[in-house]
Amino acid sequence: MMPESVLRKAAEEMLNYNGSGQSVMEMSHRSPVYDAIIKETEALFRKTLSVPDNYKVLFLQGGATAQFSAIPLNFMNGSGKADYIISGQFSKKAFKEAQKYGDVKAIASSEDATFSYIPKITREDIRPDADYVYVCYNNTIFGTTFPYIPDTGDIPLIADMSSCILSGPIDVSKFAVIYGGAQKNMGPAGLTVVIIREDMLGKARDITPVMMDYAVQAENDSMYNTPPTYAIYIHKLILEWVNNEIGGIENMEKVNREKAAILYDYLDSCKLFKPTANKEDRSLMNVCFVTGDKELDALFCKEAAAEGFVNIKGHRSVGGMRASIYNAMPTEGVKKLVEFMKAFEAKHQ
């Protein structure tokens, strides 16, 4: 979901942004008007997540998936080794992609239990000469999230936070690189935001495509080519919404915890539905659950769709149901879902 006030603001400014006589879609990215937009967006992003001064913020294209390649090309260039924690489908895909470029090891995995928990690691699990350690922080398909920041010592920690970034505060200083596709909490598809510590720049292999070289993007302030201008503008509106309407990133997390608790409390108390994620590793963004009967799951999804609950069906690899309750989902929406689930349970006990 997108915040309704953001969509309304974008609609109001669609034909004439800030008296310019243009839509943001029409602007030259080199124009003074757009230059102000991208600079305001970066400043707001830095303020919202308290990004330290020794980190660059990049606005890129290609989605999170492009970073699966960019990361080993930019960073797996010392020992040629990297350690990955496999906690779901996207970390598994990133792991497979990185294997094309060097000695990549899965130091922990929860695939043995259909990724229903987050693997625990210690420094002893990490190869001392690894160039970096990689994690996917929130796993949309399986409804899990990291309840801890892996202790990697001096080895750079890199995190895909596509489905949880902007949902609460992050201690950016614990990570060498954080990145995320915008389409969960930050804006429409087409924008990827990368936070990168400055000492990580300038290590790319000679064969790295120029669009994947983080140093080139940093040197050009994300303007090496035309960036996803409209997606960046919408991202600015969402950052304004988090700060001005929600009251900041701490309040955003509070709202998200309250929403998730409404749904998890019901799931823990009812007889028909069962949550699938390990309790201590549960995601605040994606709540996965099943009845244990595939036909009943299918009936629930059908009846839910008829009542206006969109995309409640779980991913095809795990089945069941998944309620994605990202930032813009109002608390009332979660309450309505629980009401519907209670009514469904009463009919099918």
Supply the pLDDT for residue 349. 78
Q: What is the 3-state secondary structure (H, E, C) of 162-185?
A: CCCCCCCCCCHHHCCEEEEECCCC
Of 318, 321, 315, 319, nearest to 340 by C-alpha is 321
Of 205, 176, 334, 321, nearest to 266 by C-alpha is 334
pLDDT block averages, 10 residues each, the chain of length 349: 97 97 96 97 98 98 96 98 98 98 98 96 97 97 97 97 97 98 96 98 97 98 96 98 98 98 97 96 98 95 95 88 97 97 93
DSSP 315: P
150's tokens:
């892996």
Beta carbons of 203 and 75 less than 8 angstroms apart: yes
Judge if pTM exceeds 0.95. Answer: yes
How far apart, in whole angstroms, are the C-alpha atoms of residue 153 and residue 205? Answer: 25
Supply the pLDDT for residue 45. 98
Of 248, 128, 137, nearest to 195 by C-alpha is 137
Supply the pLDDT for residue 191. 98
Beta carbons of 321 and 142 less than 8 angstroms apart: no
How far apart, in whole angstroms, are the C-alpha atoms of residue 49 and residue 71? Answer: 22
Supply the pLDDT for residue 274. 95
Domains of the chain: 4-246 (3.40.640.10), 249-348 (3.90.1150.10)
Supply the pLDDT for residue 338. 98
Supply the pLDDT for residue 318. 82
Beta carbons of 158 and 72 less than 8 angstroms apart: no
